[in-house]
């Protein structure tokens, strides 16, 4: 019997949104060498990678038409085999994020690119205050602030190199809220050095 969240791949049916495309483009600028995309969904990041900087792309997820099926808690690869490991919008779905990042660190030679929803995004704040929900998506079980990502990196002896500026999502109600700062962007992307 498969031991994973049955909802995990259902979220990818509409994953070619403007936000996803923008995030993939930003992330792809920092990918080099051999790239592992953990929790790759449909593997759409591959379409945005620069072939002059990336030698090989491997997409890993629990199910679907992808390169490798596997668990982030037990990656089926040797130690320090990938130059870049990407975890885009994955960590918030996991019950044991430290264990997952520890395993990602094991297979990574140089750079980890981590993307998580911003707990202070306009969408998240709207959801909390208007709808009285604590998380933006029913599949998200955790939320990570910059401070929490920094503490996780410290615990795992990783260096948080930088947080990438992401654009502010423009929901329908943005006309009525004069907020344009990137602090309220939908997601946070971090470049982490091993």
CATH of the domain at 53: 3.40.50.150
Mean pLDDT score across all residues of the chain:
80
pTM reported for the whole predicted model:
0.80
What is the span of the domain harbouring residue 96?
10-117+139-168+188-193
* 39 pLDDT more than 60: yes
* Predicted pLDDT at 163: 85
pLDDT more than 90, % of the chain = 47
pLDDT band, very low/low/confident/very high, at 3 (cuts 50, 70, 90): very low
Q: How many domains does the chain have?
A: 1
* Predicted pLDDT at 89: 86
| Rounded Cα gap, residues 114 and 153, in angstroms | 11
Least confident of 58-72, 133-147, 168-182: 168-182
For 93-104, what is the mean pLDDT?
Answer: 92
For 6-24, what is the mean pLDDT?
Answer: 63
Q: b vs e for 40-49, b when ≥16 Cβ sit within 10 Å of the residue's Cβ? A: bbbbbbbeeb
Instruction: Decide if 143 is inside a domain.
Output: yes
* 95 pLDDT more than 90: no
* Predicted pLDDT at 50: 96
123 close to 154: Cβ distance less than 8 angstroms: no
* Predicted pLDDT at 159: 96
Instruction: Decide if 129 is inside a domain.
Output: no
Instruction: Decide if 77 is inside a domain.
Output: yes
Instruction: Decide if 1 is inside a domain.
Output: no
* Predicted pLDDT at 51: 95
pLDDT band, very low/low/confident/very high, at 6 (cuts 50, 70, 90): very low
Instruction: Decide if 149 is inside a domain.
Output: yes
Strand partners, 193: 111, 159
* Predicted pLDDT at 117: 80
Instruction: Decide if 37 is inside a domain.
Output: yes
């Amino acid at each position: 019997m498969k031991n994973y969240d049955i909802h995990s791949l259902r979220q990818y049916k509409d994953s070619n949104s403007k936000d996803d495309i923008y995030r993939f483009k930003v992330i792809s600028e920092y990918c080099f060498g051999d790239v592992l995309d953990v929790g790759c969904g449909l593997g759409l990041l591959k379409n945005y990678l620069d072939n002059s900087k990336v030698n090989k792309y491997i997409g890993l997820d629990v199910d679907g038409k992808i390169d490798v099926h596997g668990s982030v808690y037990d990656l089926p690869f040797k130690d320090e085999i990938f130059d870049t490991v990407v975890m885009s919008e994955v960590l918030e779905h996991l019950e044991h994020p430290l264990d997952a990042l520890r395993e990602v660190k094991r297979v990574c030679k140089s750079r980890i690119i981590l993307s998580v929803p911003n707990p202070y995004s306009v969408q998240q704040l709207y959801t909390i205050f208007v709808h009285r929900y604590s998380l933006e998506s029913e599949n998200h079980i955790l939320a990570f602030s910059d401070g929490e990502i920094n503490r996780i990196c410290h615990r795992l002896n990783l260096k948080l190199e930088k947080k990438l500026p992401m654009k502010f999502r423009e929901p329908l109600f943005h006309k009525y809220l004069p907020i344009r700062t990137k602090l309220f962007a939908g997601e946070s992307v971090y470049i982490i050095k091993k």
